[in-house]
Amino acid sequence: GLNISSLLKETGLVTLDTGFMNTASTTSSITYIDGAAGILRYRGYPIDQLAKGSNFLETAYLLIYGELPDAETLEAVERRIKRHTILHEDFKAFFTAFPSNGHPMAILQAGIAALATYYQHTLDPHDDYQRELSTVLLMAKVPTMIAAIAKRATGLPLLYPDASKGYVEDFIRMTFGLPYQRHDIDPAVVKALDMLLILHADHEQNCSTSTVRMVGSAHANVYASVAAGVGALSGPLHGGANEAVLEMLNKIQADGGDASEFMRKVKNKEGGVRLMGFGHRVYKNYDPRAAIVKEAAHDVLAKLGKNDELLEIAMGLEEIALKDDYFIERKLYPNVDFYTGLIYKAMGFPTQMFTPLFALGRLPGWIAQYREMIADPTTKIGRPRQVYTGAPERQYVPLDQR
């Protein structure tokens, strides 16, 4: 194929494409998006089929290894992950070192980076054993870590992982359960969260995934690379949008629930306010994930017997947007996170835990992309060029002469 970068290298020219609007940073065989048509596939499988039929661990396997596992393989993978879900005891002290109101994403980023200090025998991605073990360790320990972070915020005691429970079920148990107290987990909640994790599992070269690849391109270990991805994900223009959506809905409700007044502000760009959970760099059509989440939001709220006025407000905003020229001209539709927060809230997650849930979902995608990059012999260190706009050469003036 045509390689523009090697052509340009010979001429000394560079392309300037801020925000990578049209520049591919890599080839990849993991995820396919057709933004105009609203299509998303993992390894060729349409997202709606996976959301309906698969489960999070199976989808994680598919993303990381390229094929759906057979029953025996999936069971073996699950068993192996279960053997590693416990966090080192010293992590308890690690969590208490942060202010209890510190944002969970900041603690998660630090916690994932810190795994490199506990599992120093798994840092070389070019070694088959180390690479496979680090994949298992991340999948196993991140849910335990997120549950511990949630507990730390409330001051409630931590629960240890229970290998007899399902992956998502145990995450919910560790997050909400208490020692010596029975905690019945609604299978509908487990199923809904599992499905949301599938929807977030990969999205090709988004901001956090490109960050994981960028850091990994320097041959940084997978923990350092994924931790960097968590940092990118925390931004409100990316994963932080799910939290920002709920804050926006709360504010509209507190201001009297008038969606049209809020939309007027958005369209006039008053104070740079945006309709959070709307718009996407790649989708110029309805985000296929948002359609699935919207349906699930109705289902889950109905099943849990929760009647949330915020869902009405969200639907009102969408209804206005779909008929309004501002949004039509700019092709702005709900993205995956417009409706997720309402489900997480109904499940009982505090708002600050929404983006860590996104991180848990995106984890297999980050791992898969890191591994694909490491396995590709043509990978080079990521090192963009720039177009310099600063001062021309000038002479240094000593301090006493300025």
Size of the site for ligand ACO (CB under 6 A): 19
Q: Is 36 exposed, middle or buried (CB count within 10 Å of its CB: 0-12, 13-18, 19+)?
A: exposed
Alpha-carbon span 253 to 390, nearest angstrom: 47
Task: Identify residues 10-49 at the interface with ligand ACO (CB under 6 A).
Answer: 19
Part in contact with ligand ACO (CB under 6 A); list of ranges 81-89, 189-197, 271-279, 295-303: 271-279
Q: Is 209 in the site for ligand ACO (CB under 6 A)?
A: no
**Can you tell me which of 280, 294, 345, 371 binds ligand ACO, judged by CB under 6 A?**
280
Instruction: Out of 200, 202, 280, 287, pick the active-site residue.
Output: 280
Q: Which is nearer to ligand ACO, 73 or 351 (CB)?
A: 351
The answer to whether the beta carbons of residues 140 and 131 sit under 8 Å apart is no
20: left (phi over 0), alpha (psi -120 to 50) or beta: left
Q: Which stretch binds ligand ACO (CB under 6 A): 129-137, 238-246, 367-375, 386-394?
A: 238-246
Is residue 346 within 8 A of residue 306, CB to CB? The reply is yes
Q: How far apart, in whole angstroms, are the C-alpha atoms of residue 46 and residue 36?
A: 16
Give catalytic status of residue 298 as yes or no: no
Nearer to ligand ACO by Cβ, of 87 and 321: the residue is 321
Q: How far is the CB of 17 from ligand ACO (least distance, A)?
A: 12
Position 191 contacts ligand ACO (CB under 6 A) = no
Q: Which residue has the tokens 């105009």?
A: 36
Q: In this chain, which residue has its C-beta nearest to ligand ACO?
A: 279
Q: What is the closest distance, in whole angstroms, from the C-beta atom of residue 391 to ligand ACO in the complex? A: 30
The 3-state DSSP class for residue 89 equals coil
**Burial (CB count within 10 angstroms: exposed 0-12, middle 13-18, buried 19+), residue 156:** middle
By C-beta, is 56 or 278 nearer to ligand ACO? 278
C-alpha–C-alpha distance, residues 150 and 201, integer Å:
21
User: Residue 280 catalytic?
Assistant: yes
Residues 290, 324, 233, 138: what is their CA dihedral angle, to the nearest 10 degrees? 0
State the pairing for strand pair 45-46/31-34. Answer: unpaired
Whether the CA torsion 181, 95, 134, 57 is positive or negative: it is positive
* 239 makes contact with ligand ACO (CB under 6 A): yes
Residue 241 in the binding site for ligand ACO (CB under 6 A): yes
Q: Which is nearer to ligand ACO, 84 or 238 (CB)?
A: 238
Residue 159 or 241: which CB sits closer to ligand ACO? 241
Binders in 308-367 for ligand ACO, by CB under 6 A: 330, 332, 335-337
Exactly one of 299, 337, 376, 400 is catalytic; which is it? 337
Query: Residue 32 and residue 43: Cα distance in Å, rounded?
Result: 7
Stretch that binds ligand ACO, among 108-116, 132-140, 174-182, 272-280 (CB under 6 A): 272-280
Q: Does 237 bind ligand ACO (CB under 6 A)?
A: yes
DSSP state of 334: B
Q: Whole-number minimum distance, CB 102 to ligand ACO, in Å?
A: 23
Residue ranges in contact with ligand ACO by CB under 6 A: 19, 237-239, 241, 266, 274-281, 330, 332, 335-337
Q: Which residues are catalytic?
A: 280, 337
